[in-house]
């Protein structure tokens, strides 16, 4: 017996509308098949956070172009120097200041060194520094910020006062001083940047941990007897990994910039090794006569920075949709 029929027994007074319903014959209603009724059921296996992020990232054309460019540059940096017949420090007095040709794709410099090979070595240096600085600062930032945010109270206060003081010291002056002290090697560049760049990551991790630590699953973990370390590194940090990765990704281009900047000023990588900054710097005196010497390294560094910034923007939109512009 349908609803309208029940009403029509007189338990409830009928309105015109109800009457209209009641007049519909039962034959007008058909039973749905079971499968069609289960529209709420999850039809496909659910996606993990990372799969979801990857599918968003994949739909961002600029980010994908950036990723492609970086992969190409990385491959060139790794295998390129082996394929060329020239070495980064091989001087050839007979072929000084040659323009680009089939022999020397990017031309040669004032010592007759092949600029193409030097630029590929520069890519090695730049990418190594970018990735290494990001990795080192990820570790320091996560540990410092995680402990500070999770423990809170006096520990947090002391740790954050230290950060407040450190953050005011201008990075670059500090790095230049350290470079003068440590000497011009890749290791000292890494060390100098590792002493300064973690601060931003640490602050970010701290604020993430603070927002997450009052969630129920943390309480649940504590109730089942998890140690503080376990809660921090098994629950809180993995759950804040998205924003952490975004922050760290943007460290890569800034580390590459800083290295190039230092090399441009003459306190980065030492001759005969060449980074992109050194190459641009070496080309300034011959800018009027051999402009191509500057052009290729300048393009290489700019394209890399573009690509890395696109990847960073894409990752930010993919991993942390709340931040989307």
Partner 1 sequence: MAGYIVKRFFASILTMFVLITITFFLMHAVPGGPFSPAEERKVPKSVMEKMEEKFGLNEPLGVQYVNYLKSIAQGDLGISFKQSDVTVNELISRGFPVSAKVGLIAIVIALIVGMLLGITSAIKRGKWPDWLSMIVATIGISIPNFVMTVLMLFLFVVVMKLLPSYGLSSWKHYILPVAGLAFGPIAYIARLMRSSMLEVMRQDYILTARAKGVPEYRVIFKHALKNAIIPIVTYLGPLVAALLTGSFIVERIFSIPGIGRDFVSGISDRDYSVILGLTVFLGIFIIISNFIVDILYAIIDKRVKIEE
Q: Binding segment for partner 1 among 93-101, 109-117, 147-155, 253-261 (CB under 8 A)?
A: 253-261
Question: How far, CA to CA in Å, does 125 sit from each of 3, 5, 172, 244, 274?
Answer: 78, 83, 19, 25, 8
CA 318, CA 57: separation in Å to the nearest integer? 5
Q: In angstroms, give the least distance from the CB of 272 to partner 1.
A: 18
Q: How far is CA 295 from CA 198, 207, 281, 302, in A?
A: 33, 43, 11, 10
231 vs 315 by CB, closer to partner 1: 315
The residue range among 18-26, 49-57, 82-90, 169-177 that interacts with partner 1, by the rule CB under 8 A, is 169-177
The region, left, alpha or beta by phi > 0 then psi within -120 to 50, assigned to residue 107 is: left
**Which own/partner pairs from 182-191 qualify as long-range (CB within 8 Å, at least 24 positions apart)?**
184/267, 184/268, 184/269, 184/270, 185/270, 186/125, 186/128, 186/129, 186/269, 189/129, 189/259, 189/262, 189/268, 189/269, 190/129, 190/132, 190/133, 190/136
288 near partner 1, judged by CB under 8 A: yes
One residue of 245, 301, 311, 315 binding partner 1 per CB under 8 A: 301
Minimum separation from the CB atom of position 155 to partner 1 (A):
16
Cα 231 from Cα 219, distance rounded (Å): 10
The interface with partner 1 within residues 261-280 (CB under 8 A) comprises 261, 264-267, 277, 280
Burial of 199 (0-12, 13-18, 19+ CB in 10 A): buried
Tokens of 184: 């011009």
Q: Which is nearer to partner 1, 134 or 267 (CB)?
A: 267
Residue 191 interacting with partner 1 (CB under 8 A)? no
Min separation Cβ 86 and partner 1, Å: 24
* Phi, then psi, of 114 in degrees rounded to 5: -75, 120
* Interaction between residue 103 and partner 1 (CB under 8 A): no
Binding-site size, partner 1 (CB under 8 A) = 40
Q: By CB under 8 A, name the one of 17, 42, 94, 165 that touches partner 1.
A: 165
Q: Which is nearer to partner 1, 74 or 178 (CB)?
A: 178
How many residues are listed for the chain in this entry?
325
174 sits near partner 1 (criterion: CB under 8 A) = yes
Looking at residue 273, the DSSP 8-state letter turns out to be S
Check residue 305 for interaction with partner 1 (CB under 8 A): yes
Q: Does 302 bind partner 1 (CB under 8 A)?
A: yes
164 binds partner 1 (CB under 8 A): yes
Shortest CB 285 distance to partner 1, Å: 11
CA dist list (Å): 300 to 191, 193, 279: 25, 22, 11
Taking the least distance from each CB to partner 1, the nearer of 79 and 284 is 284
65 binds partner 1 (CB under 8 A): no
> Toward partner 1, which CB reaches closer, 235 or 316?
316
**Out of 180, 219, 220, 271, the residue judged to bind partner 1 by CB under 8 A:** 180
122/296 Cα distance (integer angstroms): 12
Give the residue carrying structure tokens 């570790």: 139
Q: Which residues bind partner 1 (CB under 8 A)?
A: 161, 164-166, 168-174, 176-178, 180-181, 253, 257, 260-261, 264-267, 277, 280, 283-284, 287-288, 291, 294-295, 298, 301-302, 305-306, 309, 325
């Amino acid at each position: 017996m349908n609803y309208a029929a029940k009403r029509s027994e007189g338990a409830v007074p009928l309105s015109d509308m109800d009457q209209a319903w009641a007049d519909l014959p039962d034959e007008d209603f058909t039973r749905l098949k079971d499968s069609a009724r289960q529209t709420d059921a999850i039809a496909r296996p659910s996606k993990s956070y990372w799969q979801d992020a990857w599918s968003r990232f994949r739909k961002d054309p600029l980010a994908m172009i950036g990723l492609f460019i970086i992969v190409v540059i990385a491959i060139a940096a790794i295998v390129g120097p082996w394929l060329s017949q020239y070495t980064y420090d091989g001087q050839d007095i007979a072929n000084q200041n040659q323009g680009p040709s089939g022999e020397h794709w990017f031309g040669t410099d004032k010592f007759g060194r092949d600029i193409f090979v030097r630029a590929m070595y520069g890519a090695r240096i730049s990418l190594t520094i970018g990735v290494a600085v990001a990795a080192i600062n990820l570790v320091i930032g996560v540990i410092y910020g995680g402990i500070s945010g999770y423990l809170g109270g006096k520990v947090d206060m002391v740790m954050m006062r230290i950060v407040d003081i450190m953050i005011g010291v201008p990075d670059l002056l500090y790095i230049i001083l350290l470079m003068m002290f440590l000497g011009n090697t890749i290791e000292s560049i890494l060390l100098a940047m590792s002493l300064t760049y973690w601060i931003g990551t640490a602050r970010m991790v701290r604020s993430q941990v603070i927002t997450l630590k009052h969630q129920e699953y943390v309480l649940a973990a504590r109730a089942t007897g998890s140690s503080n370390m376990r809660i921090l590194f098994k629950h809180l940090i993995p759950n804040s990994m998205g924003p952490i990765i975004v922050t760290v990704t943007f460290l890569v281009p800034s580390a590459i910039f800083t290295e190039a900047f230092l090399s441009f000023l003459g306190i980065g990588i030492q001759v005969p090794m060449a980074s992109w900054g050194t190459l641009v710097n070496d080309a300034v005196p011959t800018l009027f006569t051999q402009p191509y010497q500057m052009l290729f390294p300048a393009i290489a560094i700019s394209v890399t920075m573009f690509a890395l910034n696109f990847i960073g923007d894409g990752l930010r939109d993919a991993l942390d949709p709340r931040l989307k512009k």
